[in-house]
């Protein structure tokens, strides 16, 4: 009886596992993006699409709410969406969300584009870091490139190329109803469940018909690596990490044994390099920043009367301006970050160099050299040898001038454990 019961239980468990395995083929995988488009976002979507494909998902829904972001990251995401063998739905949600700037092109690149009530899409004119306008020939270059790319994507997906051109050139924006009427999106859905009901049975060229009657919703969460990368891959944050890292190591080199600044500096540098490898970096900028640090270090070793500090500050400024490729929208540094950071770091480097320089020039306070110039008292007559009391200690001493006990003397030289002294004027104070 027990054997029969165990066999029934095993059969039931196998049937459940088999049915779940079959059901996985009809599952809907959901990626939630609610932040600026960055290398971290691009990696999250790439790994999510890869995971969904490996597990045989029916389709992937990207729930999007973004103010825009980096152009290079946007292009990476669009490439993944266009190349995906799985149907991809971009759903601008929940109510109050937006797909602005880079979010417009990502939405246009989806197999199915949808929006929730109370959302908007548009305002895709490219701007520089910090939101400032891109001026002159560079603006024409960036805008024309963005328009050509967006129109190509829109035409491939059968959406309005004319509207997306206006969104880029004129910063046009639209509500969900206006976007549907303009042919920018395919449908309006109240929520994820409503979206799945509406796309169920829809035929997509080259990808078959969506069969979502028995689908389960599986939300893919960001892993720790993606969260860290998304946080630090902002050019401004990457730059701050780089500056803090250099300042920490510089302080550790100038004050060996401090430990804490060196540890913090090392961690910040590793994080900065991790972020920089995902951003459009100009290596001439990195070399100029490294040269600035060399100038500040040399300021501690050489007497340049501040010229090396000035050279370091200029090199740091030029390196910071050149660090990121300037023709990538949102790829440069914001002036609100650059100027205060540059002023603070340059002041810090110069101040540390000045303190070290003063310490090198100051009179030694300890050891044999610290005794030179000190005033003491003769304890036994010097003719020429005797003993003197200096710094609370009794020393063997020698004097070229015979001196009696009680005379005041100044140390002029230290040879081994013997002091060479000379008499001092009566008005000098004993120390």
Q: What CATH number corresponds to the domain at position 392?
A: 2.40.50.140
Is 170 in the same domain as 319?
no
Per-residue pLDDT tens digits for 326-349? 444 444 567 777 888 888 887 887
Q: Which domain holds residue 357?
A: 234-361
Structure confidence at residue 357 (pLDDT): 65
- Measure the CA–CA gap between 321 and 334, rounded to whole angstroms: 10
What DSSP state is assigned to residue 384? S
The predicted model gives 136-142 an average pLDDT of 67
Confidence of residue 189 (pLDDT cuts 50, 70, 90): very high
Does residue 369 fall inside a structural domain? no
The predicted model gives 32-52 an average pLDDT of 91
pLDDT at residue 132 greater than cutoff 60: no
Distances from the Cα of 272 to the Cα of 70, 149, 232, angstroms = 17, 31, 8
Structure confidence at residue 113 (pLDDT): 96
Does residue 268 fall inside a structural domain? yes
Does residue 428 fall inside a structural domain? no
Q: Which of residues 195, 226, 257 is at a domain's end?
A: 226
CATH number at residue 162: 3.90.226.10
Does residue 366 fall inside a structural domain? no
Total residue count of the chain as it appears in this document: 431
Is 240 in the same domain as 209?
no
Total domains in the fold of the chain: 3
- Burial (CB < 10 A; 0-12, 13-18, 19+), residue 20, is exposed
Is 394 in the same domain as 344?
no
Q: Who has greater pLDDT, 46 or 259? A: 46
Q: What percent of the chain has pLDDT over 70?
A: 83
- Compute the mean pLDDT over every residue in the chain, rounded to the nearest whole number: 82
Per-residue pLDDT tens digits for 376-406? 888 888 888 889 998 778 888 998 888 888 8
Distances from the Cα of 317 to the Cα of 292, 309, 330, 422, angstroms = 9, 12, 19, 55
- Measure the CA–CA gap between 418 and 291, rounded to whole angstroms: 47
Is 346 in the same domain as 385?
no
pLDDT at residue 50 greater than cutoff 90: yes
Structure confidence at residue 136 (pLDDT): 52
Is 279 in the same domain as 419?
no
Is 195 in the same domain as 328?
no
- Measure the CA–CA gap between 325 and 284, rounded to whole angstroms: 10
Does residue 197 fall inside a structural domain? yes
pTM of the model as a whole: 0.65
- Measure the CA–CA gap between 229 and 44, rounded to whole angstroms: 10
Is 299 in the same domain as 411?
no
Is 7 in the same domain as 30?
yes
Closest CA to 31 of 86, 89, 101: 89
pLDDT at residue 129 greater than cutoff 60: no
Q: What percent of the chain has pLDDT over 90?
A: 33
- Measure the CA–CA gap between 292 and 318, rounded to whole angstroms: 10
Number of other CB atoms surrounding residue 285 within 10 Å: 20
Is 220 in the same domain as 243?
no
Structure confidence at residue 152 (pLDDT): 93
Lowest mean pLDDT of 1-5, 33-37, 64-68, name the range.
1-5
DSSP string, 159-208: --HHHHHHHHHS--EEEHHHHHHTTS-SEE-SSHHHHHHHHTT-EETTTE
Does residue 370 fall inside a structural domain? no
């Amino acid at each position: 009886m027990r054997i029969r019961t165990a066999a029934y239980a095993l059969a039931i468990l196998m049937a459940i596992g088999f049915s779940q395995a079959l059901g996985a083929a009809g599952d809907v995988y959901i990626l939630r993006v609610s932040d600026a488009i960055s290398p971290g976002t691009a990696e999250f979507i790439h790994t999510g699409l890869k995971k969904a494909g490996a597990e045989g998902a029916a389709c992937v829904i990207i729930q999007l709410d973004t103010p825009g972001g980096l152009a290079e990251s946007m292009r990476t995401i669009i490439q993944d969406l266009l190349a995906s063998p799985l149907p991809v739905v971009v759903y601008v949600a929940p109510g109050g969300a937006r797909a602005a700037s880079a979010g417009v092109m990502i939405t246009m690149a989806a197999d199915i584009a949808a929006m929730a009530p109370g959302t908007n899409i548009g305002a895709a004119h490219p701007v520089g870091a910090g939101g400032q306008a891109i001026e002159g020939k560079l603006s024409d270059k960036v805008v024309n490139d963005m328009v050509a790319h967006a129109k190509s994507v829109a035409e491939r997906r059968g959406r309005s190329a004319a509207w997306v051109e206006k969104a880029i050139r004129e910063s046009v924006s639209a509500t969900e109803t206006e976007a549907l009427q303009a042919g920018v999106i395919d449908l309006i859905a109240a929520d994820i469940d409503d979206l799945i009901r509406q796309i169920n049975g829809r035929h997509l060229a080259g990808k078959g018909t969506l069969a979502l009657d028995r689908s389960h919703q599986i939300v893919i969460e960001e892993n720790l690596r993606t969260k860290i990368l998304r946080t630090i891959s902002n050019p401004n944050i990457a730059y701050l990490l780089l500056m803090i890292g250099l300042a920490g190591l510089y302080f550790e080199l100038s004050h060996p044994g401090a430990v804490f600044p060196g540890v913090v500096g090392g961690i910040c540098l590793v994080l900065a390099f991790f972020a920089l490898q995902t951003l459009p970096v100009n290596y001439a900028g990195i070399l100029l920043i490294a040269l600035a640090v060399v100038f500040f270090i040399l300021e501690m070793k050489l007497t340049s009367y501040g010229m090396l500090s000035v050279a370091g500050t200029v090199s740091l400024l030029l390196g910071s301006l050149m660090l990121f490729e300037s023709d990538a929208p949102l790829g440069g540094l914001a002036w609100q970050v650059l100027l205060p950071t540059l002023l603070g770091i340059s002041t810090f480097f110069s101040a540390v160099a000045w303190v070290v320089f003063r310490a090198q020039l100051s009179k030694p306070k300890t050891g044999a050299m610290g005794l030179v110039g000190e005033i003491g008292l003769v304890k036994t007559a010097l003719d020429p040898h005797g003993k003197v009391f200096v710094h609370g200690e009794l020393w063997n001493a020698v004097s070229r001038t015979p001196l009696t006990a009680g005379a005041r003397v100044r140390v002029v030289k230290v040879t081994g454990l013997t002091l060479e002294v000379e008499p001092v004027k009566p008005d000098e104070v004993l120390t």
